[in-house]
Chain A
Amino acid sequence: MTTTATPLQTREPAQDAPVGPLATWLSDGWTVTWRNLLKLRRNPEMLGFAVLQPIMFVLLFSQVYGGSIQIDGGDYTDYLMAGIFGQTVLFGSTFSGYQMAQDLKEGLIDRFRTLPMHTSAVLVGRTNADLVLNTISMVIMMLTGAVVGWRYTNGTLQFLAGVALLLLFSYAFSWVMALLGIMVRSPEVINNAAFMVLFPLTFISNAFVQASRLPGPLEFIANWNPVSALVQAARELFGNTGTVPPADTFPMQHPVLTVIGGSIVMLAVFVPLAVSRFRHVSSR
Chain B
Amino acid sequence: MTYIYAQDLRKTYRSRSGEVHALAGLSLSVPQGTVKGLLGPNGAGKTTTVKVLNTLIEPDSGTASVAGIDVLADPGGVRRVIGASGQYAAVDENLTGLENLEMVGRLYHLGARRAKARAQELIEAFDLTDAGDRQVKGFSGGMRRRIDLACALVNTPPVLFLDEPTTGLDPRSRIGMWDVILGLVREGTTVLLTTQYLEEADYLADHISVVDHGVVIAEGTADELKAEVGGHRVVITLVHEADADTARAVLARHGSGEVRTHTSGRTLDVAVEEGPPSLQRVLAALEQASIPLHDAGIRRPTLDDVFLTLTGHDSGAENESELSA
Residues in A lying within 8 Å of B, measured CB to CB: 1-8, 13-19, 24, 27-28, 31, 34-35, 38-39, 42-43, 106-108, 110-117, 280, 282-283
Report the Cα distance A15→B109, complex, angstroms.
11
B153 is contacted by which of A2, A4, A35, A111 (Cβ under 8 Å)?
A4
Are the CB atoms of A282 and B57 closer together than 8 Å?
yes
- Total A-B residue contacts, Cβ distance less than 8 Å: 131
Given contacts A1-B125, A13-B109, contact A107 B179 (CB under 8 A): no
Q: Which residue of A lies closest to B126 (CB)?
A: A4
Report the Cα distance A24→B108, complex, angstroms.
9
Given contacts A14-B113, A31-B106, A42-B94, contact A111 B180 (CB under 8 A): no
Are the CB atoms of B107 and A282 closer together than 8 Å?
no
Interface size on B, residues (CB 8 A): 52
Report the Cα distance A106→B89, complex, angstroms.
8
B90 at the interface (CB under 8 A from A): yes
| A interface, over-half SS | loop
B51 at the interface (CB under 8 A from A): yes
Residues of A within 8 A of B79 (CB): 114-116
Report the Cα distance A89→B221, complex, angstroms.
60
B164 at the interface (CB under 8 A from A): no
Are the CB atoms of A111 and B111 closer together than 8 Å?
no
Report the Cα distance A113→B76, complex, angstroms.
10
User: Closest CB of chain A to B152's CB: distance in Å?
Assistant: 8
Which candidate, B114-122, B209-217, B301-309, is the interface stretch facing chain A? B114-122
Residues of B within 8 A of A15 (CB): 111, 113
Are the CB atoms of B111 and A39 closer together than 8 Å?
no
Given contacts A6-B156, A14-B110, A107-B88, contact A114 B54 (CB under 8 A): yes
Q: Which residue of B lies closest to A10 (CB)?
A: B114
B8 at the interface (CB under 8 A from A): no
User: A4-B183, A17-B111, A38-B94 known; 13 other A-B pairs, CB under 8 Å?
Assistant: A2-B125, A2-B187, A5-B183, A5-B187, A8-B114, A8-B155, A14-B114, A31-B106, A35-B99, A42-B135, A110-B84, A116-B79, A283-B88
Are the CB atoms of B58 and A280 closer together than 8 Å?
yes
| Most chain B Cβ neighbours within 10 Å, of A14, A16, A42, A114 | A114
Are the CB atoms of B156 and A5 closer together than 8 Å?
yes
Q: Which residue of A lies closest to B117 (CB)?
A: A14
Q: Which residue of B lies closest to A7 (CB)?
A: B156
Residues of B within 8 A of A24 (CB): 109
- List 18 A–B pairs whose Cβ atoms lie within 8 Å, in order of A's numbering: A1-B183, A2-B125, A4-B150, A5-B156, A17-B110, A31-B106, A34-B103, A35-B92, A38-B94, A42-B94, A106-B90, A107-B90, A111-B151, A114-B54, A114-B79, A115-B104, A116-B79, A116-B109
